[in-house]
A and B are shown apart, each in its own frame.
Chain A
């Protein structure tokens, strides 16, 4: 029993134990055992991934547990990396879940939550190890279904069932595309093993078809525009630690699948593959953040940001695919490394943000930012954690978001080495879109953190909020630590990722040279920087300034009123809608906001206003132009088909007779 298999077995045992404990026990015991099982399993997963990355060993396992082709598992560098992502996010979410699921105590939903959470984590772990088509597809479906049930846990809230249904429908549409892709890729080989798929020779047309099917299938899971509509519906309504895993890990499976199929199994392709992925990435990033700006539901805002960050990841992956087709392996590796680094970073800071939002929800019972405020004094530790997450997702140095976005920028700027006009025009536009996305993310998170945590509480629920239990705080702090650590040490992470990608597809067998000195420099491309020294420098300057000020400047401090006012009420503060208003005006062509203003006057005089109700909505373009017509056409077709199944026995007998006669005629004629 090799160490890798041992760790895998421990991991599986942990998850299974947690799932069973959820069904067998109740109350605090159930929560504790579920959390322990999930935590044990995810730590084992993390250890397995780290071990495989560090030592470079590959795990291989086969068993006839599945019909037809059997279960086949293999861990190469890419799988090992995704194992660490799964393990990390799951560990933090498990710890957090212990405290968070307390309000499900005594209800059946606790069993569903605990069991399905562990099943989800199990399917994620096995999914990235899958080495043949059937294993991959089965674990993919288990993952989707367990996620569906998890979204349904709080089904008594309005909108949950609808969100879950959308998720299921889009997920299965993607699944159908995936089945088709794997069927074509297997090319008649009954085992469907990935090894066979790598060596099979397909015509370029077939390869393009497989790529497009895989793009659609994995794109639905990743939440790429225009297949993203389920994301802002499903992620907010799930329990918060589940949202963290959904946003942090499950949508990354789309990236994993795309890289596995396009890079590994197909071995890369023509430049337009990378171009499409790059374009979709850029559009997702920009539209994701633009729609996030207009949200005042905290979790929906975070869900749209997931769309944005998936776009950034796809920018890196698409650039990698494109540069590989142009024969620039170093730059291609850089692109993939940037995409994978951002995957890990996003899992950390998005997980952190969702856990923070969950803490706010736990303490105030509302997700609406317009009702929050003043939480920085009432929930100080949550506020600090959320601030770190907000700074990380806004790509502010020296946190992890900046490190991976810097790498994506360097990849895109490396496009200057390709002397093709479409690249020369496309790259600056991609760079501009990424920069605009980044700037708008800063704006959005100033709004999210500022309105939720700062100033005065805007409702009694927010005023009564208290700090969350210790388990939830620990879960958040783990991710805070990872955000800081990953941000300060890109010189450690990047070489590991580059080694993990060696040999994948047509990437070179030896890792590309990355400078291992304190600054992170990219050989043969552009740019050097060192977040560690930067952080030390800025901190040093700040401390020096504080010391000098203490010694030389006046030290008096007096507390007064804001703006010299007589009384400060929350109604004097800025609202989330008002904060985003300038950007809503700038991008009005995209949003086409509808405004509904109703003013209620005092019956005696029109000069006294009693209430004002203002309602503004953003046009849901994708729903209106893409999904609604498609769904109406589908309903129309279904209604048409219903005519056939009219319920009349005579009609059915007539069908059977006609079919029989037709078959006899055909059989006679084809003799």
Chain B
């Protein structure tokens, strides 16, 4: 039991430590694809360190919710990072939360972030909140049906079970159901983490913002927590895409060697996904906000096809 708890804590710490590097890597790759040098991949660590030392300025119209929200967002995202298989399966922490818990914990973060956007009474915050919850709501069906597709073949919605089943039956990793579910989840990842073509993380035009607009009023350590939570969310989705669909490399036994290998393989998977995201963001332009539901509907159809195909090909 104690080993399990230690492993869970190690997973959380690794995710926490690795998350800014992932964001930095994507930014660095995008810079290179724009023919410029860009900041080194560890730049987000410097930014976080600086933010923690800065003063916090709060609007006089904001309430206690504004102060509470960054902690709720950070804690819930970190809890998700502990539950999602990063290093080893199966862990005891697996029995505390399954895929549905992961989805709804992320929704908890979105709920509080949206409320924090409305709190200071600024129009941009309200707009960000409105768009943010719209995108989150429209991504829900795809997530649920993709979970259904995965759970159906694994017989359980618990993440460890799903990963273990794919390891036990390698051919299922290339079954049409899995591939379609991967594609659907990839699109949902872009939507939930605010990446192109749904949302531009580097934009300055408020009318094009979704996630950024909700955090315009935050500064200092609150902003650091929210940025870190956003990076964690990206890492969590990478972990889901990597370790549920390609689970080889996850430690099955709790030896130091297995854990080290698992950490290395995880870093490689994250790197590959970061390259994919960076290349995609360079290739496509941002969608008009009212075209985003069309994209999400397309991902829903993919997920539905995943479930149907896994039924037909049993």
Residues of A within 8 A of B (CB): 373-374, 376-377, 387, 391, 394-397, 402, 406, 409-410, 413, 416, 421, 424-425, 427-429, 431-436, 438-440, 442-443, 445-447, 449-451, 454-456, 519, 521, 526-530, 533-534, 537-539, 541-542, 545-546, 549, 552-554, 556-563, 568, 570, 572-574, 578-583, 585-586
Given contacts A529-B96, A545-B225, contact A557 B56 (CB under 8 A): yes
B contact residues around A397 at 8 Å (CB):
101, 104-105, 108
A contact residues around B133 at 8 Å (CB):
442-443, 446
Q: Tell me the smallest distance from the CB of B154 to a CB of chain A, in Å.
A: 8
Q: Tell me the smallest distance from the CB of A139 to a CB of chain B, in Å.
A: 39
B contact residues around A556 at 8 Å (CB):
55-56, 220
Interface membership of B266, Cβ < 8 A: no
Across the interface, do A573 and B115 meet the contact criterion of CB distance under 8 Å? no
Alpha-carbon distance A542/B148, docked complex (angstroms): 31
Given contacts A431-B144, A439-B139, A526-B157, contact A558 B56 (CB under 8 A): yes
List CB contacts (< 8 Å) of B76-131 with chain A.
76, 78-79, 82, 94-98, 100-101, 104-105, 107-108, 110-111, 114-115, 118-127, 129-131
List CB contacts (< 8 Å) of B48-94 with chain A.
52-65, 71-72, 74-76, 78-79, 82, 94
Given contacts A432-B300, A545-B71, A545-B225, contact A559 B58 (CB under 8 A): yes
Given contacts A432-B145, A578-B126, contact A528 B98 (CB under 8 A): yes
B contact residues around A549 at 8 Å (CB):
52, 221, 225
Given contacts A424-B308, A454-B118, contact A553 B144 (CB under 8 A): no
Closest to A563 in B: B122
Interface membership of B151, Cβ < 8 A: yes
Interface membership of B311, Cβ < 8 A: yes
A contact residues around B172 at 8 Å (CB):
none
Given contacts A409-B100, A528-B158, A542-B71, contact A377 B63 (CB under 8 A): yes
**Which one of B101, B104, B120, B131 has the highest number of Cβ atoms from chain A below 10 Å of its Cβ?**
B104
Alpha-carbon distance A650/B221, docked complex (angstroms): 93
- What are 10 contact pairs spanning A and B, CB under 8 A? A406-B100, A425-B308, A433-B141, A438-B140, A538-B105, A541-B79, A572-B121, A574-B125, A580-B130, A582-B290
**Which one of B58, B64, B115 has the highest number of Cβ atoms from chain A below 10 Å of its Cβ?**
B115
Q: B52's contact among A391, A542, A554, by CB below 8 Å, is which? A: A554
B contact residues around A424 at 8 Å (CB):
307-308, 311
Alpha-carbon distance A560/B121, docked complex (angstroms): 13
Across the interface, do B134 and A582 meet the contact criterion of CB distance under 8 Å? yes
Alpha-carbon distance A377/B289, docked complex (angstroms): 34
Across the interface, do B55 and A413 meet the contact criterion of CB distance under 8 Å? no
Alpha-carbon distance A355/B177, docked complex (angstroms): 47
Given contacts A402-B104, A446-B114, A527-B156, contact A552 B137 (CB under 8 A): no
Closest to A520 in B: B95
Q: A542's contact among B74, B111, B123, B134, by CB below 8 Å, is which? A: B74
Across the interface, do A456 and B220 meet the contact criterion of CB distance under 8 Å? no
Alpha-carbon distance A445/B114, docked complex (angstroms): 11
A contact residues around B271 at 8 Å (CB):
none
B contact residues around A427 at 8 Å (CB):
148
Across the interface, do A560 and B107 meet the contact criterion of CB distance under 8 Å? no
A contact residues around B152 at 8 Å (CB):
413, 416
B contact residues around A454 at 8 Å (CB):
63, 65, 115, 118-119, 121
Alpha-carbon distance A377/B74, docked complex (angstroms): 25
Alpha-carbon distance A76/B285, docked complex (angstroms): 63
Q: A560's contact among B52, B60, B136, B221, by CB below 8 Å, is which? A: B60
Interface membership of B216, Cβ < 8 A: yes
Alpha-carbon distance A580/B100, docked complex (angstroms): 26
The 4 closest A-B pairs by CB, nearest first: A574-B126, A439-B137, A435-B144, A455-B121
Across the interface, do A553 and B221 meet the contact criterion of CB distance under 8 Å? yes
Residues of B within 8 A of A (CB): 52-65, 71-72, 74-76, 78-79, 82, 94-98, 100-101, 104-105, 107-108, 110-111, 114-115, 118-127, 129-131, 133-134, 136-141, 143-145, 148-149, 151-152, 155-158, 216-217, 220-221, 224-225, 289-290, 293, 300, 304, 307-308, 311
Alpha-carbon distance A530/B134, docked complex (angstroms): 29
Closest to B155 in A: A526
Closest to A450 in B: B118
Across the interface, do B138 and A586 meet the contact criterion of CB distance under 8 Å? yes
B contact residues around A395 at 8 Å (CB):
104
Given contacts A454-B63, A538-B79, contact A428 B145 (CB under 8 A): yes
Q: A573's contact among B107, B111, B126, by CB below 8 Å, is which? A: B126
Across the interface, do B158 and A561 meet the contact criterion of CB distance under 8 Å? no
A contact residues around B139 at 8 Å (CB):
439
Alpha-carbon distance A451/B130, docked complex (angstroms): 11
A contact residues around B131 at 8 Å (CB):
582
A contact residues around B97 at 8 Å (CB):
529-530, 534
List 11 additional A-B contacts (Cβ < 8 Å) besides A527-B157, A580-B130.
Answer: A397-B104, A428-B149, A431-B145, A432-B144, A433-B141, A442-B137, A443-B136, A526-B155, A527-B156, A534-B101, A557-B56
A contact residues around B311 at 8 Å (CB):
416, 421, 424
A contact residues around B105 at 8 Å (CB):
397, 534, 538
Given contacts A402-B104, A434-B144, A582-B131, contact A557 B118 (CB under 8 A): no
Alpha-carbon distance A557/B53, docked complex (angstroms): 12
Q: A396's contact among B62, B64, B104, by CB below 8 Å, is which? A: B104
Q: A455's contact among B82, B95, B119, B143, by CB below 8 Å, is which? A: B119
Q: Tell me the smallest distance from the CB of B126 to a CB of chain A, in Å.
A: 2
Alpha-carbon distance A497/B95, docked complex (angstroms): 22
Alpha-carbon distance A469/B299, docked complex (angstroms): 50
Given contacts A451-B118, A538-B75, contact A562 B59 (CB under 8 A): yes
Across the interface, do A562 and B61 meet the contact criterion of CB distance under 8 Å? yes
Closest to A293 in B: B137
Alpha-carbon distance A568/B59, docked complex (angstroms): 10
Given contacts A376-B65, A409-B144, A581-B130, contact A450 B121 (CB under 8 A): no
Q: B100's contact among A394, A445, A521, A529, by CB below 8 Å, is which? A: A529
Q: Tell me the smallest distance from the CB of A413 to a CB of chain B, in Å.
A: 6
Across the interface, do A436 and B141 meet the contact criterion of CB distance under 8 Å? yes
Closest to B119 in A: A454
Q: B122's contact among A421, A533, A552, A572, by CB below 8 Å, is which? A: A572
Across the interface, do A558 and B143 meet the contact criterion of CB distance under 8 Å? no
Across the interface, do B61 and A574 meet the contact criterion of CB distance under 8 Å? no
Alpha-carbon distance A548/B65, docked complex (angstroms): 20
Across the interface, do B134 and A443 meet the contact criterion of CB distance under 8 Å? yes
Given contacts A529-B97, A545-B74, contact A554 B144 (CB under 8 A): no
Across the interface, do B98 and A529 meet the contact criterion of CB distance under 8 Å? yes
Alpha-carbon distance A502/B233, docked complex (angstroms): 43
Q: B145's contact among A435, A537, A560, by CB below 8 Å, is which? A: A435
Alpha-carbon distance A437/B157, docked complex (angstroms): 20
A contact residues around B136 at 8 Å (CB):
439, 442-443
Alpha-carbon distance A352/B305, docked complex (angstroms): 40
Q: Tell me the smallest distance from the CB of B205 to a CB of chain A, in Å.
A: 15
Across the interface, do B57 and A413 meet the contact criterion of CB distance under 8 Å? no
Closest to B220 in A: A554
Q: Tell me the smallest distance from the CB of B133 to a CB of chain A, in Å.
A: 4
Alpha-carbon distance A394/B293, docked complex (angstroms): 21
Q: B60's contact among A373, A435, A559, by CB below 8 Å, is which? A: A559
Across the interface, do B127 and A574 meet the contact criterion of CB distance under 8 Å? yes
Alpha-carbon distance A450/B63, docked complex (angstroms): 12
Alpha-carbon distance A410/B72, docked complex (angstroms): 27
Across the interface, do B145 and A534 meet the contact criterion of CB distance under 8 Å? no
Given contacts A528-B95, A533-B96, A583-B134, contact A435 B141 (CB under 8 A): yes
Alpha-carbon distance A633/B118, docked complex (angstroms): 48
Alpha-carbon distance A440/B62, docked complex (angstroms): 26
Across the interface, do A558 and B63 meet the contact criterion of CB distance under 8 Å? no
Alpha-carbon distance A429/B304, docked complex (angstroms): 8
Closest to A558 in B: B57
A contact residues around B75 at 8 Å (CB):
538-539, 541-542, 545
A contact residues around B55 at 8 Å (CB):
554, 556-558
Closest to A524 in B: B155
